[in-house]
Amino acid sequence: MNFKWAGKRVLQGMFTAYLVITFTFVLIRRMPGGPVEYLRAQLITSQGSLTQQERERLQQLAETYVNINPDKPLWQQYIEYMGSIVQGDLGHSIWYNQPVADLIAEAMPWTLLVTASSILLSFAIGISIGAWMAYNEGNTIDVGLSSFATFLTSIPYYVIGVLAVYILAYQLGWFPTSGYNSGEIEASISVAYISDVLYHAALPIISFTIPAAFGQSLTMRGNSVRIMGEDYLRVASLRGLSNTRIALHYVGRNAILPMYTNFLLAIGTVFGGAVILEEIFTYRGAGLLLLKAINNRDYPLMMGMFLIITIGVICGMIIADLTYGKLDPRIESGEGGR
């Protein structure tokens, strides 16, 4: 690995994260109706007007909830805000009256379970179906699957989620309609508890996976068909290499490469989608937490969630950059035009 290049990528990611944190500071300070104004409005609504003591109390509340004291100089507010974020202090939730970091830490594992499972399944299924379609290019299987994949890809995931909960949960009773566990089994690393958690996560995972998998299959099909027309595959065939080796080492590997970056960037997309899907299934993950924060105008919690999601996407991009060379030796050797 080129450590100089890797270090440059990491520094770029850190700089992007710094810009995002700075942007959240500006939003808190300048956004009309922002958290400080919201707290002031709540106090005025409840008491009519603010005394000097109440004004001082307002500054204390603002500092507690959003790590900003409006009375201090701007540069001091900025330094204190950056320092608190670096230490993992994302402020205090106005609605839940709990630290934002604790709320996110409690909800995030459930969303990670659904998103990670959905992304892995959708790419595994999509790559398999796409390769099959490519090797059957032009025949009935290819035409039928391509049409079906195009149809499914055009359906929003939340529509599939609503259909899934109506048919599979309410009508057939195969899956639970809400929650992330039954509450009847004590939380532990046991087969019974893990099975219960996966059982409750099944419908959100299915809703994410079906449209994403068929979307990936179309991409995989297009990449494979393009690569199968390359001259070096004919040379490999003339050299006597088996069809299996050509399919796995030449076609499959080169067709998957362009999809690898999308694989990691899908983290941010799926996190955004979790907001709607977790509301449909009343699945108490980070998406439902963010939606409640928006509905309740819980600005510290909103900022914390946006910050965590953004940093997750940045980490995904850095991992994609650092590991891409392992899949494509041309990047590792500098032939990729880096």
Band (pLDDT 50/70/90 cuts) for residue 227 is confident
pLDDT of residue 125: 92
The full DSSP string for 198-211 is HHHHHHHHHHHHHH
Residue 84 tokens read as: 């608190």
State percent of the chain over pLDDT 70: 79
Higher model confidence: residue 138 or residue 25?
138
At 104-134, the pLDDT tens digits run 888 888 888 888 898 889 889 988 898 888 8
At 77-92, the pLDDT tens digits run 778 778 878 887 887 7
Range in 62-71, 156-165, 254-263 with the lowest mean pLDDT: 62-71
Q: Which of 37-46, 56-65, 74-83, 161-170 has the highest mean pLDDT?
A: 161-170
Specify the DSSP element, H or E, that contains 53: helix 52-66
Range in 28-37, 135-144, 263-272 with the lowest mean pLDDT: 28-37
State percent of the chain over pLDDT 90: 2
Q: Which of 306, 277, 281 is nearest to 293 (CA)?
A: 306
Q: Residue 88: phi, psi to the nearest 5?
A: 85, 10
> What is d(CA 243, CA 247) in angstroms, rounded to the nearest whole number?
6
Name beta bridge partners: 99. 92
Q: What is the three-class DSSP state of 97?
A: coil
| pLDDT over threshold 70, residue 232 | yes
Task: Say if residues 321 and 11 touch (Cβ distance below 8 Å).
Answer: no
Q: With the C-alpha atoms ordered 270, 272, 273, 277, is the resulting torsion angle positive or negative?
A: positive
| pLDDT over threshold 60, residue 180 | yes
Average pLDDT rounded to a whole number, residues 254-265 = 74
> What is d(CA 153, CA 203) in angstroms, rounded to the nearest whole number?
18
- The half-sphere exposure of 122 on its side-chain side, counting CA atoms within 13 A, is 33
> What is d(CA 69, CA 67) in angstroms, rounded to the nearest whole number?
7
pLDDT of residue 300: 78
| pLDDT over threshold 80, residue 336 | no
| pLDDT over threshold 70, residue 31 | no
> What is d(CA 68, CA 63) in angstroms, rounded to the nearest whole number?
5
pLDDT of residue 67: 64
| pLDDT over threshold 80, residue 225 | yes
pLDDT of residue 338: 44
Q: What is the three-class DSSP state of 2?
A: coil
Hey, what domains does the chain have and what are their CATH numbers? Answer: 17-100 (no CATH), 105-329 (1.10.3720.10)
pLDDT of residue 190: 84
Distances (CA, A) of 170 to 164, 197, 206, 281, 302: 9, 19, 16, 12, 33
Average pLDDT rounded to a whole number, residues 158-171 = 89
Average pLDDT rounded to a whole number, residues 318-324 = 76
pLDDT of residue 337: 44
| pLDDT over threshold 50, residue 20 | yes
| pLDDT over threshold 60, residue 260 | yes
